[in-house]
Amino acid sequence: MLKLGLCGRTIAILAACGVYGLKNRVQELERELVRVERMIEKERIEIKRLNAEWATLSHPERLTRLASTHLGLASATPGQIMAIADIQMRDAPSGEPGPALVSSNASSTASLRQ
Amino acid sequence: MSGEPRQGKPRRRKTTKDTGVGLEIRRARTRLRFLAVAGVLGFVALGARLTDLAVLSSTGPVTDRHVASPEDNQTRRADITDRNGRLIATDYPKISVFADPKEVSDPGETASALAEVLPNLDAEKLGQRLSRQNARFVWVKRHISDDQQRKIMRLGLPGVQFRTEYHRVYPQRSLTSHVVGYVGVENQGLAGIERSFEARLTEGYYDGPLQLTLDLGVQAAVRDELKQAVERFQAKGGSGLVMEAGSGVLLAAVSLPDFDPNHYQRADKTARFNRNTQGSYELGSLFKVLTAGMALDSNAVEITDQFDAVKPFKMHRYRIKDFHAKKRRLSMAEVIAFSSNIGAAQMAMAIGTEAQTEYFRRFGLLERHPIRLNEVSRPQRPKVWREINTVTASYGHGIAVSPLQAIDAVASAVCGGPRRPAYLSAEAGMETPLRPAAVRDETAAMLRWLMWLVVAEGSGTNGQVPGYLIGGKTGSADKAGPKGYGDKRLLSSFIGAFPIDDPRYLVLVTLDEPKGDEETHNQAHGGWTAAPTVAKIVSRSGPILGLAPAELAAERWFKDRLLVGEAFNGRLKRTEPSFAAVGDGGWALPSMPSRSGGEECSCGVCLTPG
């Protein structure tokens, strides 16, 4: 009887310790979860900031101004647009990797070279 | 068995009573009992606490609410993007500073310390507000910078605290101001898409960004060209629309003057006014396209008919004249090409009032446009539609509609077939029912030919775009003033459809009170001011939209249907060409090769070496 009682008490104490440890672990995990969620939220805000910054930096008016000032580019004209199917292809000379492009439209060729 | 304890007890009692050692043992036992009780009580307390922590005080599942974020305090709004996913509006957390007057030790000193860090803060007023002892919350300033927050924290003022709130940011600034609108300080939508899509943007936050039909590249091209035109012609303002003809998708909607939605409070009422949807204008000769459509579709007039435009058209006490009178008989093609009011009036008489109002209803000109925006006006029309109203409406006077309604009506006329009214968001646009076809396909084809003639030979030659086949119609409406129509103030406009053989896009530009310059021979009419603006917009937008240059076959088809004769005008002592349509040439377009110009430019700014 004495042994059984002692054994029971030991098991109860061990179980209590186990539950206590488990509870602690769960609390730690919950804290970790909150920390991770905060981090995600922080990253989300950072992504939003970067997206907004990207949108500001790629504002069409700004790009047009910069491209015109630093690269000497201008808006495309209708003559520079053509369908791929309309471009005449010629056989590549031997030794070259693939067919080269030939266009009857000079401006289109210029555009393609860019 | 029972005698042994009785024998033992007196012996132990005797021993403890009689000896000093027994006394010590008794005391030790008492101490032990005390310690045991204390130990048991301690363990009971620990057990109770363990039970409490493990079972009763469960924190439950961790949710978003446990994360201390700005979301706790405020409604979040979904992002708004253009059709290519480019950001138009987004939320960004900003810090606001507030105070608890009960915790503020010295209101005056606190207020002046804060005023040193925060410019434009009235220290005296803040001091008074902080002195109110019954208040527990006073806003000091909303949306301060990180640097200002650091400075305030360094001041160490008791009772002054911070709150992080989401703040709406519009990185495109004034580019899309009238369409996207703006939000109030509590992040609630006050105008534009922000207001009309309030539920979608707030409750539907987790559904992702709201995608508009706008193309920022086209929008930028329209705004840039329109701005240049407004400045050049010293106009009070202007509007520009680009729409996919068949689907009703709006690619660009610009109204000038505009404003920066990030600082909408600084803009006056004029700048906040959306001319495209809120404005109701008599659009003048633009309506002649619709009149021609009605006349041809109802068989009231044949395309080969001629009209007497020698003298002004008289009705009751009114005399209807032409801007540039030809003073001869005009073919129907010439009535549209030269924008003859006299010819249009005669067409209206042939159509009749009943048929005209029925066609206006089919074009959607007699009711509010169904676009999902709050800032949409109702068209203004005569309460009693008399014969004279029928005549004036034929050349766009006496009925005032918004530019959005006008572009939709012309699209219905030149495209034929059922189509959806213009919309700004696919989510809402699909909810709008299709409008049944307003005119027959053959009528639409004849209208396309008439619009081509306007740009090729008529009043809209300044709307020509090298490389594209464009059709259009000019409009120059006298603005009604306090003394009627006589003070030479114009609303000049031009509507263009391109490519006119199979219209994919429509562009409408209006300029409010433009003034001609030397280059336009001081003319401010639509053909001189709005038409070249549309041409520039088409020239810039076409490549962005990946539109290939015009087919020669298409141009030949248009020219083949044109008879050019010679008319002698005795008064002017010169010979001028007379245009007429080939009546029996057939109006069905031959099948053209696909004009797809490859992938559309998604960057929005197509740039090539200049």
Residue type, B437: A
List the single best residue of A31, A81, A101 to mutate versus B (max B Cβ within 10 A): A81
Chain A CB contacts of B68 below 8 Å: 38
Candidates B548, B594, B610; nearest CB to A73 = B610
CA closest to A13 among chain B residues: B47
In this prediction the pTM is: 0.80
Burial label for B510, CB within 10 Å (0-12, 13-18, 19+), is buried
pLDDT tens digits, B179-201: 999 999 888 999 999 999 999 99
CA closest to A22 among chain B residues: B54
Candidates A30, A52, A83; nearest CB to B87 = A52
Q: For residue B288, give the nearest of B366, B361, B345, B353 by alpha carbon.
A: B345
The residue with greater pLDDT, B212 or A114, is B212
pLDDT tens digits, A5-22: 889 989 999 999 999 899
Please check the confidence at residue B72 and state whether its pLDDT lies above 80.
no
Task: Name the band, by pLDDT with cuts 50, 70 and 90, for residue B140.
Answer: very high
**What is the reported pLDDT for B67?**
39
Among A36-45, B53-62, B228-237, B423-432, which stretch is predicted with the lowest mean pLDDT?
B53-62
Please check the confidence at residue B139 and state whether its pLDDT lies above 60.
yes
In the predicted model, what is the mean pLDDT of residues A40-66? 91
Please check the confidence at residue B412 and state whether its pLDDT lies above 50.
yes
**What is the reported pLDDT for B5?**
47
The residue with greater pLDDT, B591 or B135, is B135
pLDDT tens digits, A29-42: 999 999 999 999 88
Chain B CB contacts of A111 below 8 Å: 608
**What is the reported pLDDT for B324?**
77
d(CA B151, CA B153): 5
Task: Name the band, by pLDDT with cuts 50, 70 and 90, for residue B554.
Answer: confident
Task: Name the band, by pLDDT with cuts 50, 70 and 90, for residue A110.
Answer: very low
**What is the reported pLDDT for B486?**
65
d(CA B344, CA B332): 9
CB atoms within 10 A of CB B368: 13
- In B61-126, DSSP assigns E strands to 80-81, 87-99
Please check the confidence at residue B6 and state whether its pLDDT lies above 90.
no
Candidates A16, A74, A78; nearest CB to B468 = A78
Question: What percent of chain B is modeled with pLDDT above 70?
Answer: 87
Task: Name the band, by pLDDT with cuts 50, 70 and 90, for residue B4.
Answer: very low
d(CA B498, CA B505): 6
**What is the reported pLDDT for B595?**
47
Among B4-18, B151-165, B320-334, B456-470, which stretch is predicted with the lowest mean pLDDT?
B4-18
**8 A C-beta contact, residue B604 and residue B544:** yes
The number of CA neighbours under 13 Å toward the Cβ of B78 is: 20
Chain B CB contacts of A30 below 8 Å: 59, 62
Please check the confidence at residue B606 and state whether its pLDDT lies above 50.
no
Q: How long a stretch of residues is chain A?
A: 114
Task: Name the band, by pLDDT with cuts 50, 70 and 90, for residue B591.
Answer: low
Among A36-40, B92-96, B265-269, B459-463, which stretch is predicted with the lowest mean pLDDT?
B92-96
Dihedral angle over CA of B541, B547, B552, B556, nearest 10: -70
3-class secondary structure, B386? coil
**What is the reported pLDDT for B580?**
84
d(CA B225, CA B366): 31
The residue with greater pLDDT, A106 or A61, is A61
The residue with greater pLDDT, B584 or B279, is B279
Please check the confidence at residue A1 and state whether its pLDDT lies above 60.
yes
Burial label for B173, CB within 10 Å (0-12, 13-18, 19+), is middle
Please check the confidence at residue A56 and state whether its pLDDT lies above 50.
yes
Which of these is catalytic: B96, B177, B196, B285? B285
pLDDT tens digits, B491-535: 999 999 999 999 999 999 999 999 999 999 999 999 999 999 999
In the predicted model, what is the mean pLDDT of residues B207-231? 96
Spell out a b/e string for B11-46, using b for 16 or more CB atoms within 10 Å of the CB, else e.
Answer: eeeeeeeeeeeeeeeeeeeeeeeeeeeeeeeeeeee
Chain A CB contacts of B540 below 8 Å: 75
In the predicted model, what is the mean pLDDT of residues A73-80? 85
Residue with tokens 């219905």: B412
Task: Name the band, by pLDDT with cuts 50, 70 and 90, for residue B574.
Answer: low
Q: Test B91 with A76 for CB contact under 8 angstroms.
A: no
Told to judge if B285 belongs to the known catalytic residues of this protein, a careful annotator would answer yes
**What is the reported pLDDT for B550?**
84
The number of CA neighbours under 13 Å toward the Cβ of B564 is: 10
Q: Test A23 with B54 for CB contact under 8 angstroms.
A: yes
Q: Test A74 with B543 for CB contact under 8 angstroms.
A: no
Question: What percent of chain B is modeled with pLDDT above 90?
Answer: 61
Candidates B62, B169, B608; nearest CB to A76 = B608
Please check the confidence at residue A113 and state whether its pLDDT lies above 80.
no
pLDDT tens digits, B349-371: 999 999 999 999 999 999 999 99
Nearest chain B Cα distance for residue A23, angstroms: 6
d(CA B571, CA B516): 28
**Angle B65-B67-B73 (CA atoms, 0-180°, nearest 5)?**
60
Q: For residue B428, give the nearest of B177, B85, B91, B198 by alpha carbon.
A: B198
In the predicted model, what is the mean pLDDT of residues B108-125? 91
**What is the reported pLDDT for A92?**
59
Task: Name the band, by pLDDT with cuts 50, 70 and 90, for residue A108.
Answer: very low
Residue with tokens 């730690």: A28
**What is the reported pLDDT for B83?**
94
In the predicted model, what is the mean pLDDT of residues B1-8? 45
- What are the distances in angstroms from CA B171 to CA B87, B94, B174, B176, B604? 7, 15, 9, 10, 15
Burial label for A13, CB within 10 Å (0-12, 13-18, 19+), is exposed
3-class secondary structure, B132? coil
Query: What ipTM does the predicted assembly reach?
Result: 0.74
d(CA B495, CA B460): 10
Residue with tokens 């994360």: B67
What is the rounded average pLDDT for all residues in chain B? Answer: 86
CB atoms within 10 A of CB B540: 24
Strands B210-211 and B80-81, how do they pair?
A: parallel
